[in-house]
Amino acid sequence: MTDLEQRIAAGLAELRARWADRMAATPARTDPAPQGEGPTNRHGMPREPPGQNVLAHHEWPILDLGQTPDVAPERWRLTIDGAVAAPLALSWAELHALPQVDDEQDFHCVTGWSILDLAFRGVRLETLAALARPLPEATHVMCHAADGYSTNLPLEEALKPDVLLVHQLGGRPLAVEHGGPVRMVVPELWAWKGAKWITRLEFLTQDRRGYWEIRGYSNTAHPWRDDRMW
Ligand SMILES: Nc1nc2c(c(=O)[nH]1)N[C@H]1C(S)=C(S)[C@@H](COP(=O)(O)O)O[C@H]1N2
Ligand SMILES: [Mo]
């Protein structure tokens, strides 16, 4: 193992010892009476959360605050700081030097549409957390984006292995209107939890609401519990 691989493995072991039980107990994995329809997803939840319309990939809406930041990959940086033992900043090349993951995921937007089977490629948030080493008192992470957007996550959601910093879709660079060069995806929660044009992961020792959470969106955001507002 290289030094980098060793640091990731040691950081992951520590995070999993601390968070695995809480991750396994989240509603998107254990709700005894999940709402929705269709065959089940990989966690046993109905494929379509309640009231969702499934759209084709080419119909994927673009929803954001209205200004698309132009972040060239050579200038892209991700800062990881706050309640961590080893703050760091990553370049595009450094992000690509980390273990890459391919994952087909569903994308559920609270405004009533879902897209199924998006073939994402990227880096797990847990890999980045393993390098930054959240302090024992860290409980949440605030995701900040280049357009001024932000969204908060409890660590039992953020550290799940399907939470990715995505830079490719279907083998091509992620389109800028969907958050390229790098966006987050959090497939077990509503899509607003995934910041497009991600710039900073700020670990927190208590919860703090992000852009939409301040404006009345649910702070829990569980699709199969129909958590839409407050
Ligand atoms: N940076 C940033 N990320 C964001 C948003 C935003 O306004 N800015 N909107 C969120 C919301 S409300 C949704 S529903 C999804 C939409 O992603 P899409 O435009 O790729 O469909 O992005 C989320 N991430
Ligand atoms: Mo949204």
Question: Which amino acid residue places its CA nearest to atom 18 of ligand 1?
Answer: 62
31 CA to centre of ligand 1 in angstroms: 26
The amino acid that residue 189 corresponds to is L
pLDDT of residue 23: 98
The amino acid that residue 157 corresponds to is E
Q: What are phi and psi of 50, to 5 degrees?
A: -60, 130
Tell whether the model's pLDDT for residue 1 goes beyond 90: no
Tell whether the model's pLDDT for residue 229 goes beyond 90: no
pLDDT in tens, 28-57: 999 999 999 999 999 999 999 999 999 999
Across the chain, mean pLDDT equals: 97
Tell whether the model's pLDDT for residue 59 goes beyond 80: yes
pLDDT of residue 32: 94
Atom in ligand 1 nearest the alpha carbon of residue 212:
12
- pLDDT band per the 50, 70, 90 thresholds, residue 201: very high
Tell whether the model's pLDDT for residue 147 goes beyond 90: yes
Q: Is the Cβ–Cβ distance between 155 and 183 less than 8 Å? A: no
pLDDT of residue 6: 97
pLDDT of residue 162: 98
Please give the domain boundaries of the chain with CATH numbers for all domains.
3-225 (3.90.420.10)
pTM over 0.95: yes
Cα separation, 107 vs 118, in Å, equals 8
Task: Please return the burial class of 25, using the count of CB atoms within 10 Å of its CB with bins 0-12, 13-18 and 19+.
Answer: exposed
22 CA to centre of ligand 1 in angstroms: 27
Tokens representing residue 128 in the block: 């980045």
